[in-house]
Chain A
Amino acid sequence: MRHQGGLIRRMLRTLSGHGGWLPGLLLAAGCLALPAVGLAAEGATAGPTEYRDIPGIGSRNLVWIIAQLHLLLAGFVLGVPIFAWLCEVVGWKTGEKRYDKLAKEFTKLLTSSYATTALFGGILLFLLVAFYPKLMNYLTDIFFPSFIVYCLLFLLETATLYLYWYGWDAMQDGGKKTFHIFLGLLLNVFAFFIMIVPNSWATFQASPVVIAEGTDLQRAWAATWNPTWWPVNIHRLIANVVLGGYICGAYAGIRYLSARTPEDRDHYDWMGYVGNFIGVFGLLPLPFAGYWLMREIYQYNQQMGITLMGGFLSWLFILQAMLIGVLFLGSNYYFWLGITHRIPGSEMRYRKPIMTMLVILLLCLGVWMTPHSLVASLEEARKMGGTHHPLLGVFGVMSAKMTVSNLMILVTFMSFIMYWRAGKEETAGWAKAAKALMSGLLVVAGIAVVVLGVWGYFVPAIVRINYFSTSQVLIVLFVMLTITPLTALLLKSAKTTTEMVWGRMPPRAGYALVLNAIMVILLMTLMGYARSSSRVHWHIYGVMRDSSQYAYSPALGYAAAFMALNTFCFCMLVAFIFWVATMGDKAKAGHGGKGELPHGMPAMAGGSSALDAPETRKF
């Protein structure tokens, strides 16, 4: 116990370098978590304490909730700066002030959301130290050098955030703006490293690399650079962009639904569009990062891969398919609503392609959600000759699922391009050839993906995984990387035939945005459970066994209840953060009247609202 006390003191000393507010928050978190420390210590008489429990909810469940909320908040505070910085760069490059204003609106959220994230991080740390002293002691021994790096990164991140936020208005012109953009980049670079350092602790638990010899630094470095570290880093980075985009979309959706003036409707309609755009931008490459992660897991340990994809967690991937499918449908639906409501006269023109894309998406979703083994009674299974349906069983295998997921990405990409080009007429001399090339590419890519998928049934699994699935991914990536810059080039000289009209979206568009955000959050909670459960009864896979009473992974239904609860709590926390951040502005707007906020600009927006004249607010 003396050793544990020393650990806590050491952590407190280390954390005290965060600046004035953070230690205070952590101490508050510690006070909140203190009752847990003294509760139900196990094995207190026979040597050092390995576990402690808390009556009622149980230590594992409490850590589950707090860890999930901390992780979601962390995703939010890392995703928002990426989102904000991208908007700021677009505003800087195009000269459209509304992007700058949007970026500032979201950066404003960062100060309060950072504090909330740190608070939950502090609570989590204290709970972990209290409930899992043996595990935390082991992890501290391995990762102590990276704890120091983590604290330093926090200091740098905090200082950069202060400069970035408080210097916004002061750094608006010329070289100062360039420096501000650089600060935003720096903020994201530090945030990226802040994300990947704890990722190493979490991925080490799933795919540990332990070396017995060497210095502390060498041991820490070997443990950090474990097989799943980089796949998780990349996956989380992209997922954070997606989360940031969709949360922005959901916020805009809610504000749009409750907007009372046409100006507010215009603004929040546009904000929803930007959020959805950035969310989809990140969503398209996300499955590829997920595929890479699963490949690395299989390479590291086949049993772990099978536990995930073919073992007790296999039904989880049907749920994942459902959530991703709804997310793809929701994102496309929002695009389609945008085309038909924001571009007058386009409803009939795009009806056919939209219907075609909808049918393809639904068919793909149906295939993706088809399980490998069906839930069947003994009699039904006997009639089918096993749990594999004679027809549907064909769709339950990876070859089919890889094919449809790639097709769904292609269809969503088409929606994205269709929306981008809607209401514009290309004037470049080479426009016809470029459009023919793009159409040809899409068709050939679609056919190639299907052919490879069907062919995949007739080759050994190793050939399919190593060559066919990889080729499908590369084909779709190639299409996206070719058509996106080509479209951007084409539209540079295009003339606008029909102006987009903001604020005309039906209320269901707002709900679609909320739905998309819920899907992303649920997906994060679901895959967090998958990642944690893949270690089965190990704290550190193959190294430190979980010998507590909670050394089991609960069934999916029980876990889903927690996922839903965590998602709801996170949404309420984010709503609270938005509410707190806008409270002052609302009061200011109330006192100052519309004179301070011309054109009904949102109360939350920071300064420079006067720069955003209505005529400039066209896309």
Chain B
Amino acid sequence: MSEVVKLQLIGLSVVGFGIVILLFVRAQFARVIGFVSIVLGLFSLVALAVPQMASLPPAEEKFDIATVKTPTDMAAIGQKIFFSKGQCALCHSIGPSESARCPDLKGIGAKLSREFIFESLTQPQAYIYLDYRHEGLPKEYPARMPYINKNPIGLSKNEILSVIAFLQQMSGEPISVNPSELEVPGQAPAAPVKAAESAPVAVAQAH
């Protein structure tokens, strides 16, 4: 018997208990308790009737560098991170979606260079967007994207590279990220990704 079924049975019993009190007991305070039991039991039953989703902490992807041989291996890890620890799918979709609140990422790996994607993930405020949806001069606004390499999401560089590999793969592009770029814990970091850290603030257009 599943937990939901058990809870439903308890909820039904509470409602039944309340009905019995209202039917057979005359004392007013007891009747009020019966009434309250019915209300609380019904509330629990309604709550059990909606989809039951628990929020589990994101699974830590084991990044055993020795087992990552090809860019495709990285993309497979990146896909898992995209839908779990990275929380990307909370806001973005891959393909058109009514519920997505942020840009559709389908084909993003073909549209943007890996350096641009890396910078968008780690320095989302580096680009100021122009909003043309108002009268007069377009308004500037920074992206609402969180810093992916900082808490609460806090992806490591290896994890970010894997996500980039996934984005390129699902866009049908050749994966330009190589397993040799992965940082081995305890060793000196590999050559940094060519992120435009010191580049001047660029302006992109949002239509």
List chain A residues, Cβ under 8 A from B53.
312, 315, 555-556
Partner of B36, one of A258, A518, A538, A552: A518
Q: A536-B57, A538-B152 known; A556 and B52 CB under 8 Å?
A: yes
The contact of A522 among B3, B43, B50, by CB within 8 Å, is B43
B187 at the interface (CB under 8 A from A): no
Query: Which residue of B has the minimal Cβ distance to A544?
Result: B151
**Residues in A neighbouring B65, C-beta threshold 8 A:** none
B43 lies within 8 A of A303 (CB) = no
- The answer to whether the Cβ of B41 comes within 8 Å of any Cβ in the partner chain is yes
Q: Tell whether, in the assembled complex, residue A303 and residue B133 are in contact, meaning their CB atoms are under 8 Å apart.
A: no
Residue pair A541, B43 in contact (C-beta under 8 Å): no
Cβ-defined partner of B55 (8 Å) among A553, A557, A575: A553
Bound Cα distance from A388 to B48, whole angstroms: 21
Q: A306-B90, A310-B101, A372-B99 are in contact. Are A536 and B55 (CB under 8 A)?
A: yes
A539: min CB distance to chain B, Å: 11
Interface residues of B in 120-174 (CB under 8 A from A): 133, 144, 146, 150-153
Does the CB pair A303–B87 fall under 8 Å?
yes
In the bound assembly, the distance between CA atoms of A564 and B44 in angstroms comes to 7
Q: Mark B88-112, 1 if CB is under 8 A from A, else 0.
A: 0011000000110100000000000
CB-defined contacts of B3 to chain A, threshold 8 Å? 558
Cβ-based interface call for A226 (8 A): no
- The answer to whether B43 touches A564, judged by C-beta atoms less than 8 angstroms apart, is yes
Chain A min CB distance to B50 (Å): 4
B32→A254 contact, CB < 8 A: yes
| A179 beta carbon closer than 8 Å to chain B | no
B50 touches A564 (CB 8 A): no
A561 touches B50 (CB 8 A): no
* A302 with B144: CB separation less than 8 A: yes
Q: Could you tell me if B4 and A557 are in contact, using CB atoms closer than 8 angstroms?
A: yes
Interface check A559, CB cutoff 8 A: yes
Q: Are B47 and A557 closer than 8 Å at their CB atoms?
A: yes
B window 61-108: CB within 8 A of A: 87, 90-91, 98-99, 101
Q: Does B10 sit at the interface, judged by CB under 8 A?
A: yes
Cα separation A388 to B96 with both chains bound (whole Å): 14
Nearest Cβ distance between residue B118 and chain A, in whole angstroms? 20
A533 to B4 CA separation, bound complex (whole angstroms):
20
Interface size band for B:
35 or more
The complex places the Cα of A37 from the Cα of B41 at a distance, in Å, of: 34
Chain A residues lying within 8 Å of B4, measured Cβ to Cβ, are 557
Does any Cβ of B come within 8 Å of A511's Cβ? yes
- Digitize A350-378: 1 where CB-to-B-CB distance is under 8 Å, 0 elsewhere: 00000000000000000000001101000
How many angstroms from the CA of A496 to the CA of B14 in the assembled complex?
47
Q: Which of A335-355 contact B (CB under 8 A)?
A: none
> Using a CB-CB cutoff of 8 Å, which residues 508-563 of chain A contact chain B?
511, 514-515, 518, 522, 533, 536-538, 541-543, 546, 551-561, 563
In the complex, number of A-B residue pairs with CB atoms less than 8 Å apart: 130
A182 within 8 A of B: no
**Which residues A464-494 have CB closer than 8 A to chain B?**
none
A335, chain B: closest CB distance, angstroms = 20
B87: A residues at CB distance < 8 A: 303
Complex CA–CA separation, A62 to B146 (angstroms)? 34
Task: State whether A553 touches B54 (Cβ < 8 A).
Answer: yes
Bound Cα distance from A558 to B11, whole angstroms = 11
Q: Is the CB of B54 within 8 A of A554?
A: yes
Chain A neighbourhood of B51, CB < 8 A: 315, 375
Residues of A within 8 A of B48 (CB): 556-557, 560
Instruction: Looking at the assembled complex, report how far the CB atom of A120 sits from the nearest CB atom of chain B, in whole angstroms.
Output: 20
Is B46 a contact partner of A319 (Cβ separation < 8 A)? yes
Q: Which of B28, B31, B36, B50 contacts A571 (CB 8 A)?
A: B36
Q: State A306–B90 Cα separation when bound (angstroms).
A: 7
A311 at the interface (CB under 8 A from B): yes
Q: How far is the CB of B46 from chain A (nearest CB, A)?
A: 7
CB distance from B181 to the nearest CB of A (A): 27
Assess the B40–A568 pair: CB atoms within 8 A: yes
Once the chains are docked, how many angstroms separate the CA of A373 from the CA of B40?
26
Closest Cβ of chain A to B76, distance in Å, is 24
Which of A319, A373, A522, A568 touches B99 (beta carbons < 8 Å)? A373
> Bound complex: CA of A461 vs CA of B133, how far in Å?
11
Does A557 lie within 8 Å of B35, measured CB to CB? no
Taking A561-B11, A564-B44 as given, write out 17 further A-B residue pairs in contact, using a Cβ cutoff of 8 Å, ordered by the A residue number.
Answer: A302-B101, A302-B146, A303-B87, A306-B101, A307-B55, A311-B55, A319-B50, A388-B98, A514-B32, A536-B152, A537-B56, A537-B58, A557-B52, A558-B7, A560-B43, A560-B46, A568-B36
Chain A: residues with CB nearer than 8 A to chain B? 254, 257-258, 301-303, 306-307, 310-313, 315, 318-319, 322-323, 372-373, 375, 386, 388, 460-463, 511, 514-515, 518, 522, 533, 536-538, 541-543, 546, 551-561, 563-564, 567-568, 571, 575
Point out residues on B near A: beta carbons under 8 Å: 3-4, 7, 10-11, 14, 28-29, 31-32, 35-37, 39-41, 43-44, 46-48, 50-58, 87, 90-91, 98-99, 101, 133, 144, 146, 150-153
4 shortest A-B CB distances, which residue pairs? A560-B47, A537-B57, A542-B152, A557-B48
A-B contact pairs, 16 of them (CB 8 A): A302-B101, A302-B146, A310-B99, A311-B55, A313-B55, A315-B53, A319-B46, A511-B35, A514-B32, A515-B39, A536-B152, A552-B54, A555-B52, A557-B7, A560-B47, A568-B40
